[in-house]
Structure 1
């Protein structure tokens, strides 16, 4: 992001609390300046999330167009506001949005930051100097028929709608990487495990296909959750009653916003309820937590499957990304899955923050909305980066240790489960126990006891017969 070079010169601006120095080069004004001094908390400015800034500009442009339609703004004022908004939508001037993501006032500092930047840039476009607010004022003109309490929720919802595309793209790329590996590993037989104990055979491809499937489920879920955010309270102003707004304003503003952003935004039927309700954020945050939990479980599995290499499972090899120890020569750690695990823990914690903040709303407004917005946007960004890293730096480079996988099959008592329908449970249990005590293979014990002949046994133990359902009736008829 472009940095502002401050010369030390300043201008004087005035608000309710009196005069304040504002850097001469800044497009922001006095209320933003106060917010910067008051809320030095996270070190993360709202400009850290460009889609939020673009969404704010889209909302302000839509409102200006609606007010112009109603004859409340002159052609010159409306054109200047819209041109300033277009520049911000195109990615310009984002460095002039320095307010911290966490702030008191239910987002008022963010709203005023937008009002002041748009007003001062619009003044320049009109041929005036910054802060010559007699020609175009941040509150009177840019914020006309608006309140923080309808603009801020609308903008953050739209910002999440715009931002989620990157998350979905990253998730689809990760799913595709797992799909490729599932096909590559489809013929590699291995032991499945439950409770970390030998279970029954499966293919390594089936294991990776399950990873792909579970990520695919959450792609669909997150996309459906985003639709909830398209219902907005724009036009409700302070508490949803629409005070200071023309009765025709809300539907006009929402229509303009839909045209500007390219998404069908919907005016809530009950603006009072919509102004205080955080339900959509809670649901979206829950969906992000669900994705995080799934990713963490997958990464746990990858670390287990690649453990060793000499004293662990060693069924797969993860790409070597960096030396793993400052003291143990030759050690390489599964750093990419480890990092994704930590992102997941962070997202799970963010969801708790969202839940508590949503519950903390009182009467007609939830003043905790800034932390809700911060944590959801943070979760979206972190999950996007984590999934991109996981697919590019880990999944695509995974290789299988075919001989190790096969050796586990050959030496496991788990294959006796495949013989259970033919040997009976008592015989199968006895064979399994004997194999465990003696170290002999199940196959050898079955043949030694003459329970099955070699041809029949080998047929049953074919990979395709052990990793998918078979026609049991036909198999039993053939055996008899």
Structure 2
């Protein structure tokens, strides 16, 4: 017997290292028990990542169906395994997936944990005791034709694919929010700036439209990474040679997995390469870093544009979300952009972790996929939440200070650039110098010097002229 009941509310199970008592009510077994002892690292068990649990049982269900089709697994055991997977997919027994996501062994503990929980749930459905492995075994039946080395990376890709879809959806919501603000602010003139110095006129709508375009570009890049994540190595078994699997298994299990998961998965053309190569994760992480960098840049802009409110730029108002100080009454901080900045810093750090872990693999397997999984899941989840928080708690409630922006523009010398084609570079330079020295408005100096008429000046300083390409009008 691989397992036997004891009188202490436990059951005794056996593995390579000997016997151990497992809690009698646990659906996991001895391999999970040892992993719980060996890896008290992050405090984040698999149960914190339901998408990974679902991916694992998708694979176990697909494998059982494929092995049954090949005549390797009888219908009774197949149906029990499939029933267990369906039950777990609904959220049952999530707490039984207990091993820490950061672990040694290239993910073996995660795969063993899944095998044991599925097996014991299947035994329960068959009316048998947990641990009755002589009838249904975690490795011989649930893990049939599989290895951790093809199950684990495949599960990571399925879980990542689904997580990326949620991130894409949330990015689209944020993009739409910026687009609405761009429309709302489309006729509000302001000073455009380069290197934090006054540059040329623009509209606040153009500024916010830029943020929408940036998000759209990143959504496209993220979507382009999905085909790489949909390439799996299931059927490779240990190193990619397919040892201990039927010659037709890889094709059949992929077909079953596509049906079970609903995802457009395809088998890698060369499984030995696919089993050791983490390039898809590196590529995806690089795109996540790109998103984080640009999202952080947008948040930097929002903090600058709302700075003050009286001694800074003060062009926009971010929604007030909480008191900003324990000592300064009335102070309100840009807390939502600040938290998104911090998520960006984390994602950038996670990218370095993923890069080093992918590089550190040797020969036919990368042993460091657990830290890749941990870093990827956190990056995707935190970026998703950051986009949602930024949209709901900040962007949709932004208001603009139209009069202040126009007054700042009128007092700035940036209008000289717009007038340059009409009054010439030399005159423009003199006007700019006088405006800087005296603090007077550019328009007043131009009129005083007789360089342009009021009618011509009014025509030139219209928003549609100041903020878009246009051939110079004839001077009247």
CA distance in structure 1 between the partners assigned to 2:163 and 2:300 by the alignment = 28
Does residue 112 of structure 1 match 2:108? no
Match of 1:243 in 2: 243
CA distance in structure 2 between the partners assigned to 1:150 and 1:342 by the alignment = 35
Match of 2:367 in 1: 367
CA distance in structure 1 between the partners assigned to 2:394 and 2:181 by the alignment = 11
What do residues 293-339 of structure 1 show as CA deviations (whole Å, max 9, x unaligned)? 11100000000000001110110110000000000011010000000
Match of 1:16 in 2: 16
After TM superposition, what 4+ stretches of structure 1 lie above 3 angstroms from structure 2?
A: none
Match of 1:55 in 2: 55
CA distance in structure 2 between the partners assigned to 1:163 and 1:450 by the alignment = 64
The 3-state SS of whatever aligns with 2:281 is: helix
Match of 1:440 in 2: 440
CA distance in structure 2 between the partners assigned to 1:171 and 1:9 by the alignment = 49
CA distance in structure 1 between the partners assigned to 2:176 and 2:157 by the alignment = 29
* Contact 2:296 2:341 (8 Å CA) reproduced: yes
What do residues 116-162 of structure 1 show as CA deviations (whole Å, max 9, x unaligned)? 00000001111110000001000000001100000000111011111
- Distance verdict in 2 for CA 1:363–1:428, change over 3 Å: same
Kindly report the root-mean-square deviation, in angstroms, between the aligned alpha carbons of the 2 structures: 1.1
CA distance in structure 2 between the partners assigned to 1:86 and 1:429 by the alignment = 75
Does residue 199 of structure 1 match 2:174? no
Give 1:209 deviation, angstroms: 0.6
Match of 1:185 in 2: 185
CA distance in structure 2 between the partners assigned to 1:184 and 1:115 by the alignment = 55
Match of 2:148 in 1: 148
Give 1:396 deviation, angstroms: 0.7
The 3-state SS of whatever aligns with 1:146 is: coil
The 3-state SS of whatever aligns with 2:382 is: helix
CA distance in structure 2 between the partners assigned to 1:379 and 1:224 by the alignment = 18
Match of 1:134 in 2: 134
Give 1:471 deviation, angstroms: 2.8
Match of 2:402 in 1: 402
Does residue 176 of structure 1 match 2:172? no
CA distance in structure 2 between the partners assigned to 1:95 and 1:166 by the alignment = 23
CA distance in structure 1 between the partners assigned to 2:50 and 2:423 by the alignment = 65
Match of 1:270 in 2: 270
Match of 2:465 in 1: 465
CA distance in structure 2 between the partners assigned to 1:370 and 1:74 by the alignment = 33
Gaps of 5+ in 2: 1-6
The 3-state SS of whatever aligns with 1:20 is: strand
The 3-state SS of whatever aligns with 2:414 is: helix
Q: 2:475 aligns with which of 455, 469, 479?
A: 479
The 3-state SS of whatever aligns with 1:310 is: coil
CA distance in structure 2 between the partners assigned to 1:22 and 1:470 by the alignment = 78
Give 1:8 deviation, angstroms: 7.7
CA distance in structure 1 between the partners assigned to 2:9 and 2:342 by the alignment = 44
* Contact 2:452 2:475 (8 Å CA) reproduced: no
What do residues 4-63 of structure 1 show as CA deviations (whole Å, max 9, x unaligned)? xxx983211111011112111111000001001100000011111111110000011111
Number of matched residues?
A: 470
Does residue 417 of structure 1 match 2:417? yes
CA distance in structure 2 between the partners assigned to 1:23 and 1:297 by the alignment = 51
CA distance in structure 1 between the partners assigned to 2:404 and 2:14 by the alignment = 74
State the TM-score, normalizing by the size of structure 1: 0.97
Match of 1:216 in 2: 216
Q: What are the within-5 Å matches in structure 2 for residues 220-235 of structure 1? A: 220-235=220-235
Match of 1:347 in 2: 347
CA distance in structure 1 between the partners assigned to 2:226 and 2:91 by the alignment = 23
Give 1:450 deviation, angstroms: 1.0
The 3-state SS of whatever aligns with 1:479 is: coil
- Distance verdict in 2 for CA 1:321–1:59, change over 3 Å: same
What do residues 95-130 of structure 1 show as CA deviations (whole Å, max 9, x unaligned)? 110110100000000000000000000011111100
Match of 2:3 in 1: none
Match of 1:4 in 2: none
Match of 1:69 in 2: 69
CA distance in structure 2 between the partners assigned to 1:261 and 1:423 by the alignment = 68
Give 1:449 deviation, angstroms: 1.1
What do residues 68-96 of structure 1 show as CA deviations (whole Å, max 9, x unaligned)? 01111110010000110111222221111
* Contact 2:305 2:313 (8 Å CA) reproduced: yes
State the TM-score, normalizing by the size of structure 2: 0.97
CA distance in structure 2 between the partners assigned to 1:340 and 1:149 by the alignment = 35
CA distance in structure 1 between the partners assigned to 2:317 and 2:119 by the alignment = 57
Match of 2:46 in 1: 46
Match of 1:29 in 2: 29
The 3-state SS of whatever aligns with 1:413 is: coil
CA distance in structure 2 between the partners assigned to 1:160 and 1:429 by the alignment = 57
Match of 1:456 in 2: 456
Match of 1:253 in 2: 253
CA distance in structure 2 between the partners assigned to 1:355 and 1:429 by the alignment = 52
